[in-house]
Chains A and B, each alone.
Chain A
Amino acid sequence: MTLTIHAQSIADLVHEQSVDILIDVGFCVPDHELLTRLEREGFLVNHENQMVRLSPELLDQALKNLPKDFKFFTRDGELLTKFGQEACFMGAGTPVNVFDLHTGEHRSSTRADVRQIVTIQDALSQVDIVRPTVTATDQGEFSDLVEIAELIRNTTKPIVHRTLSPDRVDAAAEMLFAVAGGEKEFRTKPNFATLYCPISPGYFTPENIHCMLKWAEYGVPITLLSMAMGGASAPATLLGELIVINADILAWIVVLQILFPGTPLLYGSVSAVLDMKTGLLALGAPERGMINSGAAIMANYYDMRSMCGGLSSDAKELDAQAGFEKVVTAIPLLKEGASIIYGAGATDAGNTISYQQLIFDNEIIAGIRRMWEGITIHDPSEEVELIKKLTPRGNFMAEDHTRKNYRRHWYPEIISRDTYDTWKEKGESLDQTCNQKANEILDSHRPARLPYKVEEELERIVRNYIPDFEFEN
């Protein structure tokens, strides 16, 4: 995607400064074996403080190795054509709380929630990429594998998740390959990407490093997902924060492309700034969209695909605050050409998922997608002829041109455009409408099933960790 002049200036500056940091100070790699390996590859390694510095040559080589044409597919092997062309929207994830669909109670999320929320995302017209969105807290320490299994089973859309520890990457990959028909088949048409977060500035945990290395061996797409907090783990200016984000991501682009040339990588950021009144993250703040739009700029600069946190909210219910924040945090990402906008269903600063919010986010996405088309330029001769014919005081409604074109306008599924009297008579709140819609989907939508043998295979793989694991019918 071509950068605007302003975006290009930001990108040049941020690239130059983050490279300076990576050459001058570097980043921490808390793993002896990997440090030795990196040293052999030409990285400048200080074994004492575990800091690794780049050379300009390594950076050049890594950027050459970086694949430029990463594509995303469905479980059925269909290309997600939108991906890389326009913004795709993805479910949020993965907190441990949910608002219960029936009682509204704020409670711990479960495997049943994962199944239901994945099913709803599978049905929603505007959600392109699916996440488990909540954690299956009732599944104990192997919840990640259960979530991946439910994700694979309950949607055909491209999926994104991660393992919690490196020793489960084999099992997760085995499940993905079982569905794709083999490792080679998966690599040709990946329907899954994983994601791992650094601790800004300049640190990745050993667990996350080993997860990434294992996934890279399998050629599975990896998202380097910065979670910088402006004013705490990064400078308080957006430019300064973006330099931290870029240094953290660029460091691991280089590591992974030198060790595993050609590994598909996504440039990710779910960063934000801190609310200095409380020390809490302000995920619904305008700065949330602004900073992550910087990540979209940098991804485009490196000719990569981006995953950017937005469509976010700090609201605790489906209210005006939620509506405002969701839109404000999504628009800058559209503006700077983000590939994936990451946040559908999230409320409460990403700490709680709401079924109703997920339904309403689908509506918001549809609306802002329509808005993003803008006024298209075409030959208006047909319109001009019509205007001349009907001037003065004519009625366009019965004209063929109107009938052919009015449906391009946006028609909401949820939002009320009723008169006051009708609205009053229905007596239904937005929350109730969304709740009903969620229940309708769960009653009627059946995601396309995997072949029985593949399901059995998935169950077998998870049973190595959870002996009584089985899918519900």
Chain B
Amino acid sequence: MSEELYKRLMETVVIGEPEDAEQIAKEALEAKLDPLTCINKALMPGIQKVGELFSTGEYYLPELIIGADAMKAALEILEPALIGGQKRDVVGMVILGTVEGDLHEIGKTLVGTMLTANGFKVVDIGSNQSVEAFVKAIEEHGADIVGASALLTTTMLQQKKLVEALESAGLKKKVKIMVGGAPVTDRYAQEIGADGYAEDAISAVDIAFRLMDAPV
């Protein structure tokens, strides 16, 4: 019975059915299954399978994102039900946002999804976020990594301001800074003193792992 539920829950992630994932997660709790085991035996292998299918070229981004959405939907049911000291294994805590003056969100959200799918805990503070809002969120959540996105040639400067603000707040050594966005280059990231630059959401995961000094 429980094995079958794990399998069905895993399938919702692989096939990408968020509504089913939520439903089956609820069924699992009703059946008194251990939420942490559900996460470890169904959701994690499910998202890993999605990742595999993506890297072999069978899945493209839409399948990957919907798979991750299914995982998130199940996590929202299972995580609050974790018992006592139980905790999901998290690679690192990431604050994500689009810089002030910039309302472009799609790329940043995609990075968030990819990081979540790879075991990071992501807090997305949204678009048009001031340097102060970034700093506040970093302190509040004890972030390991902050990711700042800019899609406009004019708002890239805000990324530089963020690096400077983290330096003066004495946070530069505690939190790793990742930058991205269409006009941003590796060269620019180095110039402004960011710790990492990724040209797309997939390489963002590799960079995040490297910044956490964790195995990819």
Binding site for B on A (CB under 8 A): 94-97, 106-108, 135, 137, 141, 164, 199, 203, 205, 207, 229, 231-233, 274, 276-281, 351
Cross-interface CB contact of A232 among B106, B154, B185, cutoff 8 Å: B106
User: Can you list 16 contacts pairing A with B, beta carbon distance less than 8 Å?
Assistant: A95-B153, A96-B156, A96-B183, A106-B185, A135-B153, A199-B103, A199-B104, A205-B103, A231-B62, A274-B61, A276-B60, A277-B61, A278-B61, A279-B61, A279-B107, A280-B200
Known: A95-B153, A164-B154, A231-B62. A279 touches B182 (CB 8 A): no
Residues of A near B200 (CB, < 8 A) are 278-280
Interfacial chain B residues near A279, Cβ < 8 Å:
61, 107, 110, 200-202
Contacts from B to A (Cβ < 8 Å)? 57, 60-62, 101, 103-104, 106-107, 110, 153-154, 156-157, 182-183, 185, 187-188, 199-202
> How many Å lie between the Cα of A271 and that of B107 in the bound state?
16
Query: A354 vs B106: C-alpha distance in the bound complex, in angstroms?
Result: 28
10 more A-B contacts (CB under 8 A) besides A232-B106, A274-B61, A279-B107? A106-B187, A107-B187, A199-B103, A205-B103, A207-B101, A276-B60, A277-B61, A279-B110, A279-B202, A280-B199
9 nearest CB pairs, A to B: A276-B60, A276-B61, A96-B153, A278-B200, A232-B106, A279-B201, A96-B183, A135-B153, A164-B154
Contact between chains at A277 and B103 (CB < 8 Å)? no
Interface centre among B110, B154, B157, B201 (most CB of A within 10 A): B154
B3, chain A: closest CB distance, angstroms: 34
Task: Select from chain B the residue with minimum beta-carbon distance to A280.
Answer: B200
Are B153 and A94 closer than 8 Å at their CB atoms? Answer: yes
Most chain A CB neighbours (cut-off 10 Å) among B104, B153, B154:
B153
Give the shortest distance, in Å, between B47 (CB) and chain A (any CB): 18
**Complex Cα gap A189–B190 (Å):** 47
Knowing A276-B60, A279-B61, A279-B200, the reply to whether A351 touches B156 (Cβ < 8 A) is: no
Q: How far is the CA of A107 from the CA of B153 in the complex (A)?
A: 14
CA distance A412 to B131 in the complex (A): 53
Q: Identify which of A106, A199, A279, A280 gathers the most chain B CB atoms within 10 Å of its CB.
A: A279
Give the contacting residue for A351; candidates B60, B104, B157, B182; CB below 8 A: B182
Q: How far is the CA of A108 from the CA of B61 in the complex (A)?
A: 31
Chain B hits for A96, CB < 8 A: 153, 156, 183
Of chain A, the residue at the smallest CB distance from B154 is A164
Chain A residues within an 8 Å CB radius of B157: 141
